[in-house]
A and B are shown apart, each in its own frame.
Chain A
Amino acid sequence: MQIHELVGAVHEAAWLPWAVQYFFLIGMSTTALFLSFPAFVLGRASSLPHARLALITAVTTGISGPVALLADLHQPGRFWEFFVYTHATSWMAWGSWIVMSYVTLLLLYAWAVNRPAFYRWGQDDWRFAWIFRFLAFGSPANGFARIIGIGAGVAALGILTYTGMEVAVVYSRPLWHTPLLPLQFAATGAVGALGVMLVLGRLFATGRVVEARMNRMLALALVIVGIIGALWFAVALSGISESHTEALASVAGFTVWQRIALWAAAAIIIPLVIAVVAPSRSGWITGLIAIHAAWMFRWTVFMGGQAVPKVGSGLYDALMPTGLEGLMGVIGTFGLWIFLLILYTTFVPWAEAEVPDDGSTSSAAPQSARTV
């Protein structure tokens, strides 16, 4: 049987590139938070260099992500309704509470980790000392940072769960309707977070040892992404899940999707090989490819998923950027994130963040090394 659609309606993407940015940034934020735990929660001083970079990543993406989410609402002024009319059957409704908790705990955690340095900067005699005296709240004590960190970690697990489930439960879109999606968001989020950390590591010259360590972690994350991706293909090809099979069939015949598959494979394999072969000299390239891979995965899932008609034939053009309006969401969010990165790395004594002192260890107070 041959069918030619003569008259049909084209549906535009209802979730805009802002949503891609949110899922990209919040995925990196939550996984970066966990990468900060070895030093700031578990107390391993040897992990401090990369944990500091992880915290910068977690905070800056953790703030800019929810801004993008708000912008994706067509009625952003009504965001308060999420908290007043919470609908318990909706993952998105739960998400609004989880996002609020996560951002609050993340900022408290970052503040607690940096409090001793805030205190030191407040004791110096310089123009902005009063700001840091205020931020330190009169004491350098931060033993409670670990507990707050654990709380933020629980909220981060909530974020990874809800962001994955919110999309995975949409059974009207077979490409989204897979229990593997939360795992894919988490694994690709870690790839993106490590990419940002590698780039920051090069920018702030944290050294080859740190770079090699982060590249090894990136290689592990890329392998996990590859395994989950292979599992998705295996399930779709095996026919054991009708939804997965339908998802693959709905896109497999289209040139654009075939190119995306090759692109995705390259985005995993190329940085993986480089990270393994030259772990201590490749931070720029592996980092940038990793950031791109995490972003591209979400763009493909959200914009590509919305390009597949639910009842009509062919593909809609949601997959391709259509005009400046869609791109502005991407450019604007990246702009905000880069601004926050500059702000954080300039005004927060991130390089002085030490293992939180809960009274069990005694260490000499580090010297203040202001960047401003």
Chain B
Amino acid sequence: MDSSRRQFLGAIGQVTIGAAATVAGANSASATTGSTTDGKGASGPHWGMVVDLRKCIGCQACTVACIMENAVPEDAFRTHVSVYEVVKEGRDPAMVMLPRLCNHCDEPPCVEVCPVQATYKQEGTGEVLVDASRCVGCAYCVQACPYDARFINHETQTADKCTFCVHRTEAGLLPACVETCVGGARIFGDLNDPESTVSRLLASNEVSVLRPEMHTDPNVYYIGLDEALDGRVAGEAAYKPPLTTSLEHHGEGR
């Protein structure tokens, strides 16, 4: 299991997309790790994602797939694609897409603030997860996350976030957003395996992470990310509540 959907299609030819992809994913995962449900130990996979922004078309298929797969409530997102119009001096305006999700950091600030150890980093595979049966819904983790990747799920009244679709990866499947990505922009795989697609992409491309100044060691990497977008984006917002529209002389900068 180390691919985007496009690569999978290229590898196995013309078959039914969804079902075949899951089978192929399972075979590939099993071949890599022996048992993906265990996921412990240095020899196991350490999941990561590379987002190739050159391929993202902002179709939000990943957003919808995630909502359908994980029953995300109406008023929240585990992943979505931010869309910006960027106008650089002397150049035509450009549309820039930026898929956002939990970065499954190796130094996750959300884990250390949790007062009851309900949120934790999965040993070995490295996903940052929430034990919803223990979460008290204090939302401290929501505050601590530098990526606004967490929210309170009002159906469960607990903290909620992207899990890298752990229920799927444990079964040898790809995360729903990866499997559905139309442009093949989301690539998921084992960062421990130097031969994996994600490792090869990291080795052969200039990649960056969101908010590097936070020192969270994210496991989500971006190819083609403009520096102006890797932190708090100092621009005109799509949503403007009352009294927040006066952005002239806005001192915000990077």
Contacts and interface: CB of A to CB of B under 8 A. Distances in A.
B238 A7 contact: yes
A251 to B, nearest CB: 8
Interface in A14-62: 14-15
Nearest to A7: B83
Contacts of A252: 250-252
B224 interface: no
Interface in A75-102: 75, 78-79, 81-82, 84-87, 89-93, 95-96
Q: Count chain A CB atoms within 10 A of each CB in B113, B118, B151 and give the residue with the most.
A: B113
A5 B84 contact: yes
Interface residues of B, number: 70
B236 A5 contact: yes
A8 interface: yes
Contacts of A1: 86-89, 228
Interface in B114-158: 114-118, 134-140, 142-148, 151-152, 157-158
A313 B58 contact: no
Most buried by A among B146, B210, B238: B238
Contact of A8 (B115, B137, B238, B248): B238
Contacts of A4: 84-85, 87, 235-236, 238
A2 B252 CA distance: 12
Interface in B141-188: 142-148, 151-152, 157-158
B245 A255 contact: yes
A313 B140 contact: no
B136 A3 contact: no
Contacts of A310: 145-148, 232
A10 B244 CA distance: 14
Contact of B211 (A14, A96, A311): A311
Interface string A315-332: 111011000000000000
A87 to B, nearest CB: 5
B55 interface: no
B68 to A, nearest CB: 17
Contact of B157 (A2, A74, A173): A74
Interface string B5-19: 000000000000000
Nearest to A69: B138
Contacts of B40: none
B71 interface: no
Nearest to B241: A317
A12 interface: yes
A87 B117 contact: yes
Given A75-B157, A316-B239, A91 B233 contact: no
Interface of B: 58, 60, 75, 77, 80-89, 95, 100, 109, 112-118, 134-140, 142-148, 151-152, 157-158, 210-211, 214, 228-229, 231-253
21 contacts: A3-B84, A4-B235, A4-B236, A5-B235, A5-B238, A14-B139, A75-B158, A81-B136, A87-B116, A90-B114, A93-B116, A170-B144, A172-B145, A250-B232, A253-B247, A254-B246, A255-B244, A310-B232, A311-B211, A312-B232, A317-B244
Given A256-B242, A312-B82, A314-B247, 17 more contacts: A2-B86, A3-B84, A3-B228, A3-B235, A4-B85, A5-B237, A5-B238, A6-B84, A6-B85, A15-B143, A85-B116, A252-B252, A256-B244, A312-B148, A312-B232, A314-B240, A320-B241
